[in-house]
Amino acid sequence: MKTILLSGCEAAAEGAIAAGCRFYAGYPITPQNRFPEYMSRRMPECGGVFLQAESELAAINMVFGAAVTGARALTSSSSPGISLMQEGISYLAGCELPAVVININRGGPGLGDVTPSQSDYFQSTRGGGHGDYRTIVLAPWSVQEIYDFTYSAFDLADRYRNPVLILSDGMVAQLLEPVKLKGKSKKTIAPQWALTGCRGRKPHSIKSLFLTPGVLETHNWKLARKYERIEKREVRWETYYTEKMDLLIVSFGVCARIAKEAVEQARKEGLRVGLFRPVTLWPFPYKQLESCMKQVSKVLVIELSLGQMIEDVRMVAGEKLRLFFYGRPGGGIPTPEEILKEVRKK
Amino acid sequence: MKPVFTRPRSLTENVMIYCPGCGHGIIHRLVAELIDELAVREKTIGIAPVGCAVLAYDYWNFDVTEAAHGRAPAVATGIKRVLPDRFVFTYQGDGDLAAIGTAEIVHAAARGENISVVFVNNAVYGMTKGQMAPTTPLGWKTTTTPKGREPALHGYPIRVCELLSSLDGVCYLERVAADSVAGIMKVKKALRQSFLCQLENKGFSLVEVLAACPTNWKMNPAQAMKWIGEEMVKYFPPGIYKKTW
């Protein structure tokens, strides 16, 4: 297994290729432009399709088309572009098609700025588009993780026939870090439900329209049972220094990585601080967080936003717990020292 | 006894829910006949639109997917790029193709995607009960142009074939009118050209079919057919707008 130096965008692209993805469609938007640029070279190199779409709307629908054929398909964008893709993501979910979407989150609302942010948490974890649906959301904090998570995202997407989101940010996307690569690229075959032409079988159709009364309700309940299975099996989280704590920090993605440094420093100073890091943002690790919070009376939620994940934390926090928030919206990034200062105050 | 008229293999036995005199039933059948005649049913993937023909997958007896409103050319692009040896076509109405999906059709054409597009222009939003379409002629009354379409208020109708004809990626463009037996035979001939264009890997092609919507035109089917040939063709002249092979 080779270890090479890659940026976050490049690593995610390589993770996808290793997973057998041979279809990428995207549209330029900062801070993920390296993605389409890199894919425009790599996809043809490995016999895949690269498409620069006319918009994010077209990009996600090209991915929809590829997914219809059972191919492993990927798109990437950043917040305003991801907003445009919500229509397509809702259709993917409704049609139960697998696909992987990478959001390199930038500051908003509106055009916002191009610096790292976590302000798309609500959009990512609550479905994002119209209708009753969920997408699996993975939040990497390093270049190695964006590689690994993108790789496994395709298996999750196929297993549940559901879109999977990687929610990252401009910092992870542009960091250069060593990445341990997987071996040979996976070989995939089109699943039975795919549209490939009806040779030797009955014709298939793929749709999310169910006009007969009651049929959509049945379809929605079927999706609900799938989401329950995902909630049961796919929750991922990590904890650091969570023995003998007074204060628990809850943070995800790159913000958690900065917080971990602050926690290490705080421990050196004798402060009893731990870190809980949700790795899947949906399904959210409610139970795991709840049991971790039992040890403490104070919880500090840190996000690169005005506070969105804090609502999930609050759901399991209970009344006795004192919940604090430290946020840097609009592209602000805290230093470990800044977080340490907050820790000392609590 | 030799049967002289049978259901094409590419049509299912489902009863079409279209209104009397609607153009969709005719055009669905022509598509199915051609797919049979060209022997491509087992390698066909169709893309159904949003609009009156949204249920096309219930009527065609081959693989069909839905697409979000206007996005069929992008979906077709994804399918065709993964499976270049399959026969891929979109079936779209005027609202789908010339309003909400303008960007997608223009860019699929500009890229020269090797797909066929069946564009049904009936000058009105049929499924939502008769609002102004991007192809509604001037003066025409709809539920959103109660006093008739006025340029100052509603702009001008879009001529899709003329618009796309400037694009180098386009291989074949023809406008035909499904207004009579002779007209319908011409529709089939044009569609055959388009389908062959793709099967011979020549690139993007589109056939615009002027079709009747008697219900929303508030006419009987015979009047509607007549109106296509007498009025609609004045703004949308039939003909071949591009042929590069």
User: Can you tell me the distance from the alpha carbon of A326 to that of A298, in angstroms, rounded to the nearest whole number?
Assistant: 13
Q: Would you say B119 and B162 are in contact if contact means Cβ atoms under 8 Å apart? A: no
B-chain residues within 8 Å CB-CB of A197? 42-45, 62-63, 83, 86-87
- pLDDT tens for A208-220 read 999 999 999 999 9
Q: Please give the angle made by the CA atoms of A258, A260 and A263, to the nearest 5 degrees.
A: 120
User: For A274-290, what is the mean pLDDT?
Assistant: 98
Pick the range with the lowest mean pLDDT from A17-21, A160-164, B1-5. Answer: B1-5
- pLDDT tens for B113-130 read 999 999 999 999 999 999
3-class DSSP state of A322: strand
pTM: 0.97
3-class DSSP state of A177: strand
User: For A312-321, what is the mean pLDDT?
Assistant: 92
Q: Which of B43, B67, B80 sits opposite A61 (nearest CB)?
A: B67
A-chain residues within 8 Å CB-CB of B82? 22-23, 49, 65-66, 69, 71
User: Can you tell me the distance from the alpha carbon of B154 to that of A44, in angstroms, rounded to the nearest whole number?
Assistant: 45
Structural domains of chain A ordered from first start: 3-187+208-233 (3.40.50.970), 238-345 (3.40.50.920)
CA nearest to B72 within chain A = A61
- The pLDDT, as a whole number, for residue A183 is 86
- pLDDT tens for B16-26 read 999 999 999 99
- The pLDDT, as a whole number, for residue A346 is 86
Whether B74 sits inside 8 A of A207 (CB atoms) is: no
At B229, the pLDDT band (50, 70, 90 cuts) reads very high
At A226, the pLDDT band (50, 70, 90 cuts) reads very high
Indicate the residue type of B67: A
Q: Partners of A108 in the beta sheet?
A: none
B-chain residues within 8 Å CB-CB of A71? 82
The answer, for B230 touching chain A at a CB cutoff of 8 Å, is no
Q: State the average pLDDT for chain A.
A: 97
- The pLDDT, as a whole number, for residue A314 is 96
Whether A66 sits inside 8 A of B71 (CB atoms) is: no
- Could you tell me the two tokens for B78? 């994804």
User: For A273-281, what is the mean pLDDT?
Assistant: 98
Q: Partners of A238 in the beta sheet?
A: A277
B-chain residues within 8 Å CB-CB of A87? 68
Strand order in the sheet with A322-327: A237-240, A273-278, A247-250, A298-303, A322-327
B174: phi > 0 → left, psi -120 to 50 → alpha, else beta; which?
Answer: beta
Residue B78 — φ and ψ, nearest 5°? -60, -45
Q: Which of B55, B71, B76 sits opposite A57 (nearest CB)?
A: B71
- The pLDDT, as a whole number, for residue A124 is 98
| In the predicted structure, residue A318 carries a pLDDT above the cut 90 | no
Q: Per DSSP, which regions of chain B are E strands? A: 44-48, 63-66, 87-93, 116-121, 124-125, 131-132, 170-177, 204-210, 239-243
- Could you tell me the two tokens for B40? 């491509």
| In the predicted structure, residue B245 carries a pLDDT above the cut 90 | no
At A320, the pLDDT band (50, 70, 90 cuts) reads confident
Q: Which of B43, B63, B75 sits opposite A61 (nearest CB)?
A: B75
User: For A288-314, what is the mean pLDDT?
Assistant: 97
Whether A196 sits inside 8 A of B83 (CB atoms) is: yes
| In the predicted structure, residue A165 carries a pLDDT above the cut 90 | yes
Residue B136 Cα to chain centre, angstroms: 15
Residue A216 Cα to chain centre, angstroms: 28
- The pLDDT, as a whole number, for residue A1 is 78
Kindly report the nearest CA distance between residue B99 and chain A, in angstroms.
14
The answer, for B79 touching chain A at a CB cutoff of 8 Å, is yes
Q: Would you say B206 and B117 are in contact if contact means Cβ atoms under 8 Å apart? A: yes
Structural domains of chain B ordered from first start: 23-243 (3.40.50.970)
Query: Among residues 46-75 of chain B, which lie with CB inside 8 Å of chain A?
Result: 48, 54-55, 57-58, 60-68, 71, 74-75
User: Can you tell me the distance from the alpha carbon of A162 to that of A132, in angstroms, rounded to the nearest whole number?
Assistant: 13
Kindly report the nearest CA distance between residue A225 and chain B, in angstroms.
24
- pLDDT tens for B170-196 read 999 999 999 999 999 999 999 999 999
At A197, the pLDDT band (50, 70, 90 cuts) reads very high
Whether B78 sits inside 8 A of A61 (CB atoms) is: yes
